Structure 1
């Protein structure tokens, strides 16, 4: 039996901002604005926060600089460096710390001015790997293209099926006033776009935007007295198999296959119970791989599963309802945005993109090149 504190902690505040990528704000300023908005959303003040779990891409000391900037003196700090999966991992640690009484209110926050501050230039960092560096891969895109090519070869997945993912994401984004990219997008548009790394065109690749996101977590007994509808954390798990793509044993299978069963077991639910799925879709192949690895369809069936608008508005499974990293936002690390969207759906506040009757939401994070996988499952009080 899992020792995870199922439903004993909850997200009570959430915010995103800065996706419009207007020049002039630093990553820290964007993070601070989102953090203060999330704290206010929770009906709290910065003085109520005694745990700060923060990430800034360019600041290895953000565990100290973020609390200083916000004027908070926390009992606990944390700054997991697993890329886009860091925030789901931080939510897991926050739940454990809150349940143990080590702190009372945890802020999880991230900010980036990747687009306006760097002119759209993206670099994939990390220690050079001698078996990859000589070939000068354009990572992360090259690594994901390898996974896409392998999935196509092994399971017959088509470029049209990859394009379905991008088209579905755009349809959701068109319902989201905060999404960075809107407008019509067809399968032919995706296939005919500029090739970046075969088989991935520019429309198969995530956006490069600014943006910040933040959530506030506290214990369930306190959450019920705060103004917003709590999103209870029912299960959380992560797994890491590699850093570089050449070390992944099977390019079509990720560590989500290990993390997801643990998260489901903690939550006491199955994939079929999930109402809303928020995945880290840095590339179209991600959504296909993760739908398989999270148990929504058998391995190799992801391409066929997403066909014919199945994950678009009105389809059989609502996936990436804010538009995802492909059409809503991708400021370097996207994982916290999946969490905010899951909370927004469970609160019933998603406007035109609201999934009716959503009670269970899965928020997933992916770090590196399919490297670190983390899964969190949230629910309303109806599923406690």
Structure 2
């Protein structure tokens, strides 16, 4: 069964706060939930499906209680930063088979203010990897170094991803890092895990977001412009007992599945929301989604290719996780919200992609050098 056209995103909200020491994670979830529902023209009493992930305090039962929800379907998938891309697909699936009519998806966290952080452990292998210095930045650095070795990718090419994100963040009044940077400034910043510099790494912020997904029969009664879910794919990638390929992500499997279901190709895409935990994440994901040949990602991003509105593939026009917002290590939510803005024509005016009709959203959860969850989604304007 295909989910193409089975549901629409009709409400979207990103919390404007980036440093929130005085409110709880539960309150962030609640503020985002109520604002997204208001954006959709719906209320809490309309919601009959609730979706969250590991950042939800107490899980879906506690949060449904906190929000005052009466629901008949819940989902608390946790595949890291890709969770909320997957949750939109799961909400669409649930709507398609009649499990719910109005799905609310919430995310929120306070990692910058000392709230709940992502766990240091990544499962059974942690005790065998951590003593040897394997960490989140080190894992991505390992992938970056291998990509450089295999394909000649350079640090300057990685820096172009950060430059594009920073140019976009300058148009976002809420961005954590709103100042544009140059390739030279990226390369001059200190190493965090060689070859990745500090400016190759995402920000750490508080914040959150929420989405409302409904079926066509609910959408018909709403005045708010919707965004159609056209296709989705998910995949897990791990070490494969030591046979891991460091130069690719799970997008190599989730991407083709999403494009096939949507009935479109990478060449049809007007805008890309790509999880940018590190600059190397974007390079590898662009290759794996089919926007360029494997190994050509470093060359693909040159000459302003990622910069809106007229680059070859405008990406992350809110500034992304590299510059704007990365709450609770769940960048799939903010990536989806910005894709909704672009398809509604509500992005920053200077960065609005002309006649933006199709967008790809991709989330990466976990570590590039070891194991990850990947989720890809194709979204279109409501008449797509």
Q: Settle same-fold status: TM greater than 0.5.
A: yes
Q: What stretches of structure 1 move > 6 A for 4+ residues in a row?
A: none
Q: What is the root-mean-square deviation in Å for CA atoms of aligned residues? A: 1.7
- Residue 30 of structure 1: which of 17, 28, 31 is its match? 28
- Per the alignment, residue 367 of structure 1 pairs with 365
- Per the alignment, residue 138 of structure 2 pairs with 142
Matched, 1:95 2:92: yes
**Alpha-carbon distance between aligned partners in 1 of 2:48 and 2:143, rounded to the nearest angstrom:** 41
Give 1:268-347 correspondences, 5 Å limit: 268-313=263-308, 314-331=310-327, 332-347=329-344
- Residue 66 of structure 1: which of 52, 58, 63 is its match? 63
- Per the alignment, residue 197 of structure 1 pairs with 193
Query: Is the alpha carbon distance of 1:250 and 1:9 closer, same or farther for their aligned partners in structure 2, counting shifts above 3 Å?
Result: same
- Conserved in 2, the CA contact under 8 Å of 1:245 and 1:369? no
Q: Structure 2: any 5+ residue segments left out of the alignment?
A: none
**Structure 1 residue 50, shift from structure 2 partner:** 0.6
- Conserved in 1, the CA contact under 8 Å of 2:139 and 2:367? yes
**Alpha-carbon distance between aligned partners in 1 of 2:197 and 2:46, rounded to the nearest angstrom:** 46
- Per the alignment, residue 42 of structure 1 pairs with 40
**Structure 1 residue 265, shift from structure 2 partner:** 0.8
**Structure 1 residue 118, shift from structure 2 partner:** 4.6
> Aligned with 1:178: secondary structure?
coil
- Conserved in 2, the CA contact under 8 Å of 1:4 and 1:266? yes
Query: Is the alpha carbon distance of 1:262 and 1:68 closer, same or farther for their aligned partners in structure 2, counting shifts above 3 Å?
Result: same
- Per the alignment, residue 351 of structure 1 pairs with 348
**Structure 1 residue 226, shift from structure 2 partner:** 1.1
**Alpha-carbon distance between aligned partners in 2 of 1:241 and 1:79, rounded to the nearest angstrom:** 20
**Alpha-carbon distance between aligned partners in 2 of 1:235 and 1:175, rounded to the nearest angstrom:** 30
**Structure 1 residue 178, shift from structure 2 partner:** 2.4
Matched, 1:250 2:248: no
Query: Is the alpha carbon distance of 1:30 and 1:159 closer, same or farther for their aligned partners in structure 2, counting shifts above 3 Å?
Result: same
> Aligned with 1:132: secondary structure?
helix
- Conserved in 1, the CA contact under 8 Å of 2:56 and 2:107? no
1:15-50: per-residue Cα shift (whole Å, max 9, x none)? 000432132111111111011100111100001001
Query: Is the alpha carbon distance of 1:108 and 1:122 closer, same or farther for their aligned partners in structure 2, counting shifts above 3 Å?
Result: closer
- TM-score, L = length of structure 1: 0.94
Which range moves more in the overlay, 33-42 or 123-132? 123-132
> Aligned with 1:344: secondary structure?
helix
- TM-score, L = length of structure 2: 0.94
**Alpha-carbon distance between aligned partners in 2 of 1:235 and 1:214, rounded to the nearest angstrom:** 20
Matched, 1:152 2:125: no
Query: Is the alpha carbon distance of 1:289 and 1:117 closer, same or farther for their aligned partners in structure 2, counting shifts above 3 Å?
Result: same
Q: Structure 1: any 5+ residue segments left out of the alignment?
A: none
1:265-317: per-residue Cα shift (whole Å, max 9, x none)? 11010000011100000000011000000000000000000012111233211
Query: Is the alpha carbon distance of 1:122 and 1:11 closer, same or farther for their aligned partners in structure 2, counting shifts above 3 Å?
Result: closer
